[in-house]
Amino acid sequence: MPWRAETNVSSEAAPLPIVRTVGALRTRIRGFRQAGETVALVPTMGALHEGHLELAHRAGAACDRVVATLFVNPKQFDRPDDLERYPRTEARDAELLAGAGCHLLFAPPAEEVYPDGFATTVSVAGVTGSMEGAHRPGHFDGVATVVTKLLLQGLPDIAFFGEKDYQQLQTIRRMVRDLDIPVAIEGVPTVREADGLALSSRNRNLTAEQRRIAPALAKTLYDIAARLSGGGVDAGLVLDEGREALLRAGFDSVDYLELRDSANLTPLAQADRPARLLAAAWLGHTRLIDNVPVE
């Protein structure tokens, strides 16, 4: 299982320059380009952890300059309480990003991203039609719209996204191909706690008891993936048993637990081609998602 390093704030790194307008972002990136440098983009909603920093490290290994973005995008939240509870820790985030080798942070206010009169939505069909798309109405329109804007604002060579949000990653890949956005999309494997829990900004909303239960999500996915990878089993039955295992472990409800084609996320009855197991489940008011490959 992937591992996690501790998140330390480095006191060595110089403060990270922060820009808040598209104009200032473009001026900085033009400077990088004039020096012949390549540029990576790492979009985030802040409240950073080692998962985000892994994106930054990969970005730094691939490009000369790493530009992170921090914007808690209201358009992708389907529940007002989720938006309200979303942690906001910009000063610490900037320190962590500097320590991870980032060169610039774009942290715009909402009016810069969605000025008065904003009227355009980017909507990706197909890959968004189930799972997160079904349980969070409007979520992927919000993600697709803001990611299109961020990619066009920065025009990086490569943008980095985590596999933890696997359906989001596949949606962005589809969107970039469909709209001929000239940016390469790189997926980064999920960074986990030592007990397997996928790092997520929302983990900090868990109570101590919920935190004890939470690793059962990853454990159940890995157990099911192992059973499915051998072939010759009834996937429907195994998935039903997985849902029951999550409830037995203490999850309050399971939104979905699905076996999907790993590229376009269509349902699979057997893991007979590259496949992915994806799940979302609730612990109290906190909704956790996770996914693993079936190899």
52 is in an annotated binding site: yes
Does residue 170 belong to the site contacting ligand BAL (CB under 6 A)?
A: no
Among 32, 40, 53, 54, binds ligand ATP (CB under 6 A): 54
Of 16, 4, 168, the C-alpha closest to 99 is 16
Tokens representing 255 are 């939104």
- Tokens 């990969």 appear where? 58
- Residue 198 or 239: the one with the smaller Cβ distance to ligand ATP is 198
> Would you say 142 and 77 are in contact if contact means Cβ atoms under 8 Å apart?
yes
Q: How far is the CB of 55 from ligand ATP (least distance, A)?
A: 6
- Residue 44 or 153: the one with the smaller Cβ distance to ligand ATP is 44
Q: How far is the CB of 176 from ligand ATP (least distance, A)?
A: 14
Report which residue's Cβ sits closest to ligand PAF: 43
Q: How far is the CB of 131 from ligand BAL (least distance, A)?
A: 13
201 is in an annotated binding site: yes
Does residue 165 belong to the site contacting ligand PAF (CB under 6 A)?
A: yes
Q: How far is the CB of 43 from ligand ATP (least distance, A)?
A: 6
Tokens representing 61 are 């290994």
139 is catalytic: no
Does residue 290 belong to the site contacting ligand BAL (CB under 6 A)?
A: no
Query: What are the residues whose beta carbons fall under 8 Å from the beta carbon of 237, sequence distance 6 or more?
Result: none
Q: Which does 128 bind (CB under 5 to 8 A by kind): ligand BAL, ligand PAF, ligand ATP, none?
A: none
Query: What are the residues whose beta carbons fall under 8 Å from the beta carbon of 90, sequence distance 6 or more?
Result: 46, 70, 107
Q: How far is the CB of 85 from ligand BAL (least distance, A)?
A: 12
Q: At CB < 8 A and 24+ separation, what contacts does 235-238 make?
A: 235/259, 235/268, 235/269, 235/270, 235/271, 236/269
Query: What are the residues whose beta carbons fall under 8 Å from the beta carbon of 162, sequence distance 6 or more?
Result: 51, 52, 54, 55, 169, 187, 188, 190, 191
- Residue 43 or 215: the one with the smaller Cβ distance to ligand PAF is 43
Evaluated on CA atoms 105, 109, 114, 117, the torsion sign reads: negative
Evaluated on CA atoms 3, 276, 224, 139, the torsion sign reads: positive
Site for ligand PAF in 65-94 (CB under 6 A): 73, 76
Tokens representing 4 are 């996690």
Q: Which does 147 bind (CB under 5 to 8 A by kind): ligand BAL, ligand ATP, ligand PAF, none?
A: ligand PAF
Distance between CA atoms of residues 155 and 30, nearest Å: 10
- Length of the chain equals 295
The residues assigned a catalytic role are 52
Interacting residue ranges for ligand ATP, rule: CB under 6 A: 44-45, 51-52, 54-55, 161-162, 164-165, 188, 190-191, 198-202
Binding residues for beta-alanine: 76
Contacts to ligand BAL by CB under 6 A: 76, 165, 168
